[in-house]
């Protein structure tokens, strides 16, 4: 009987947390925060939302909106695309470097094997 009550209480807490998270997500989206960011914030705060009073809840919403606004102003879309392109180019260069190092490694292994085989041919005993 206690287990059933414990499970029921746990499910009620989970449902309440999910409802609070949905409310937080909706509040953030209404204030202009993109859905992906609103979802991430609401999921992270789902367990803590129960302990937030009205002022703390409003502070979380305000802080998230402020951060989003600052981020949007700091990195215009063109800059973001440029950074993405630079990172992709860097990844391509790293792949080329990796391929070159593999070739050098193979070449050095061959040289080592040849040196060992030449050493064995020189031994008289």
State the SS3 of the chain. CHHHHHHHHHHHHHHHHHHHHHHHHHHHHHCCCCHHHHHHHHHHCCCCHHHCCHHHHHHHHHHHHHHHHHHHHHCCHHHHHHHHHHHHHHHHHHHHHHHHHHHHHHHHHHHHHHHHHHHHHHCCC
Least confident range of 14-18, 25-29, 68-72: 14-18
Q: Which of 33, 59, 74 is the last residue of a domain?
A: 74
* Total tally of structural domains belonging to the chain: 2
Residues 3 and 61 in one domain: yes
Question: Which range of residues forms the domain containing residue 31?
Answer: 1-74
Q: Do 66 and 104 fall into the same domain? A: no
Q: Which of 37, 54, 74 is the last residue of a domain?
A: 74
Same structural domain, 30 and 50: yes
Cα(56)–Cα(53) distance, integer angstroms: 5
Q: What is the pTM of this model?
A: 0.45
Q: Mark whether 68 and 109 lie in a shared domain.
A: no
Residues 90 and 69 reside in one and the same domain: no
pLDDT of residue 125: 55
> pLDDT at position 105, please?
93
Q: pLDDT value at position 64?
A: 82
Handedness of CA 57, 58, 63, 65 (dihedral sign): positive
């Amino acid at each position: 009987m206690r287990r059933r009550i414990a499970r029921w209480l746990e499910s009620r807490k989970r449902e309440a947390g999910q409802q609070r998270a949905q409310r937080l997500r909706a509040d953030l989206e209404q204030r202009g925060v993109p859905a992906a960011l609103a979802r991430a914030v609401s999921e992270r705060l789902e367990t803590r939302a129960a302990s937030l009073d009205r002022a703390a809840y409003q502070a979380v919403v305000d802080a998230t909106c402020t951060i989003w606004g600052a981020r949007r102003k700091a990195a215009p879309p063109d800059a973001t695309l440029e950074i993405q392109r630079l990172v992709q180019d860097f990844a391509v260069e790293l792949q080329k470097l990796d391929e070159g190092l593999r070739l050098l490694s193979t070449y050095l292994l061959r040289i080592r094997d040849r040196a060992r085989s030449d050493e064995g041919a020189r031994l008289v005993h």
